[in-house]
Amino acid sequence: NNQGNNQVEVNPDIEGVGLTGLRRLSREEYDNTLVDLLGDTTRPGSSALPEDAIDPFDNNYETQRVSQALVEALENVATGAARRAMEDATRRDEIVGCTPANSGDEVCFRSFVKSFGLRALRHPLTDDDVERYLPLLAFGVEDDNFYTAAGLVIQAMLQQPKFVYHVERGIPVEGRPNVYRLNQFEVANKLAYFLWGSM
């Protein structure tokens, strides 16, 4: 019912309302997301990722099994997508969003991780989140190429559970056991993938 504050209260005891699990992006959603995130129109998920079970939907978390084949396919797709993104200078510069002063430009790297992470992982990154990617900058320094490190960030994020899965945990509603309120990013994620099948 509507409480006058534009928030819908849901009774968890209503018959037919079940648990929600971590739902993986379908192959179609994965490919659509690569188009919107990287401008990558090669649709690698459709050919490389294991086929989604149709029962009648392709995104039922109860039928989405994790397997060695899935993990390897995700790595291969992410590696290829990151390589293609860094090969095209125009697309690369748009994705990175800053011009590095040198191969070890930490300011540009942090800015890129934060902005790309917001889009790829569908929520703002904390400072601790950004720090976890900082060691990848050493590969750019070693290769004397900032974009080596940027490509590794893309490759890593495209395999992150928060990219591959819809992670919508919400926060507990006080006084309402088993009721959780989604934040604005989780709601936006649910709506985007429901309406457009993409980010």
Q: For the segment 37-92, what is each residue's pLDDT rounded down to a tens digit?
A: 999 999 988 887 776 666 655 555 555 566 677 779 889 999 999 999 999 999 99
Bridge partners of 180?
A: 172
pLDDT band, very low/low/confident/very high, at 15 (cuts 50, 70, 90): very low
Query: How many Å apart are CA 13 and CA 142, to the nearest integer?
Result: 58
**Span 102-127, pLDDT tens digits:** 999 999 999 999 999 999 998 899 99
Helix (H, G, I), strand (E, B) or coil at 80: helix
Instruction: Return the pLDDT at 2.
Output: 36
- Long-range contacts of the stretch 113-119 (C-beta < 8 A, 24+): 113/153, 116/153, 116/154, 116/157, 117/157, 119/37, 119/199
Instruction: Return the pLDDT at 124.
Output: 93
Please give the model's pTM, rounded to 2 decimal places.
0.77
